[in-house]
Structure 1
Amino acid sequence: MITMDGKREEEVDKTNMELETSESSYPGSGSLHIPIDLFGSKKHAGAPRGVLAFADALGNILFTVNRHPPNRNYKKKLLLDASGNIIFSIYRHEKGSWKCYKGNGDGDKDLVFRVERTLKTLTRVELEVFFDGERPNNEGCDLKLRGSPFQRSCSIYKDTDLVAQASLMYKLHQLYVSRGKFCLTIFPGTLDNALVVALFVIFLNGRK
């Protein structure tokens, strides 16, 4: 079948796929069609007590965060999938900067993104995210994170679009809200769930 502009449909589909690939320069990116909620806690039944885990609405553990013994130059965390496979290695360096690598890597070829803290107050933290690759004309950051790590409140933006948002688990007429459990909502877009979780894990340590 021929389209109005004279291209075959399969050629148009191929062009669209190439455009999508070129716009997604980091591993694991893809299109999400509906918002999803992930519930974070260190008390999930399916994870060791004290280990931060993220579960779906049915209580299935999707991601866990493992800490490594601190190094003199950095602190390291691993983001694991439901089977215990390492998705990302997150390194926190001095002066409010982080680097995230694929798998258990730590070299330039495995770098996915880096994060720089731009604001830190008692109640607010702001971070900027830069994906790996050349940045022509000194362009700005790819994503911004804003909110309060203490309150588990975080909004992730790509330009003016809201990518994800986290908040505590409030209940009607509840006087005291525990910080032990929170909800991370990921909106439709181009960011992979694991990548958003990795960003939020960094944000939780943004005040340090």
Structure 2
Amino acid sequence: METSDLEYTGTEDQHIPIDLFGSKKHAGVPRGILAFTDASGNIVFKVHRQPPDPNSSSSLKDTKLLLDSNDNPLFSIHRHHNGIWKCYKGSGDENKELVLQVKRTVKTITKVELEVFFAGERLKDNDTCDLKVIGSPFKRSCSVYKDGDLVAQSSLMYKLNQIYVSRGKFRLTIFPGIIDRGLIVALFVIFLNGRK
């Protein structure tokens, strides 16, 4: 799959950044389900954890499903025992089309770095990654880069004169570009679990 296949085709103006607000406490969403809303509070994406199949001999440790606002599966996100994450189009079946693979390159108490490789010919050439994700999962803070350019950035929701900042609510800003917004959210979900 080429990067152009991941272009966002929504009707919104693609020349301005958009903010998504992530939390596990949104009205209309079961408690504990990570959801992302737009600035008006409308649900845009939801993340469901798939229970592991006890009869499977797969190397999978964890599977998450990224859904749109109508509960249609966009991407299935699989974490393997070897520290590699794979993202497929659609539901949790690994026989679906592979979109990207993510490899953790740095893991410390305060910092995680991920290298992202889009599926296709370049996936066989592990010398050059397509995207880099750098930040601190504990602080819900990361930056996504493509060729040195900032693609997306996340941070906790700070308020003026706030002494304690909850890690339960955060902002994900996606800058104009060709990367699918759902794919950026999927990368952020991988990043949040990047220390595991």
**TM-score under structure 2 normalisation?**
0.89
What secondary structure is seen at the aligned counterpart in 2 of 1:197?
A: helix
- Flag structure 1 segments of 5+ consecutive residues without an equivalent: 1-21
Query: Which digits, 9 at most, give the CA deviation of each residue in 1:75-101, with x for residues without a partner?
Result: 110000000000000000013210000
* Residue matched to 1:132: 119
Map 1:1-208; keep pairs closer than 5 Å.
24-29=3-8, 32-71=14-53, 73-74=59-60, 75-104=62-91, 105-107=93-95, 110-135=97-122, 139-208=127-196
Alpha-carbon contact 1:28-1:195 (below 8 Å) kept: no
Alpha-carbon contact 1:165-1:186 (below 8 Å) kept: yes
Q: Which moved more, 1:72-81 or 1:26-35?
A: 26-35
Aligned residues: 186
> What's the offset of the Cα at 1:47?
1.0
Alpha-carbon contact 1:88-1:198 (below 8 Å) kept: yes
- Could you tell me how far apart the structure 2 residues matched to 1:43 and 1:137 are? 41
Query: Which digits, 9 at most, give the CA deviation of each residue in 1:3-49, with x for residues without a partner?
Result: xxxxxxxxxxxxxxxxxxx9634445459321000000000112111
What secondary structure is seen at the aligned counterpart in 1 of 2:94?
A: coil
- Identity score, percent: 67
- Could you tell me how far apart the structure 1 residues matched to 2:5 and 2:108 are? 31
- RMSD of aligned Cα (Å): 1.9
Alpha-carbon contact 2:4-2:178 (below 8 Å) kept: no
Alpha-carbon contact 1:40-1:52 (below 8 Å) kept: yes
What secondary structure is seen at the aligned counterpart in 2 of 1:202?
A: helix
- Flag structure 2 segments of 5+ consecutive residues without an equivalent: none
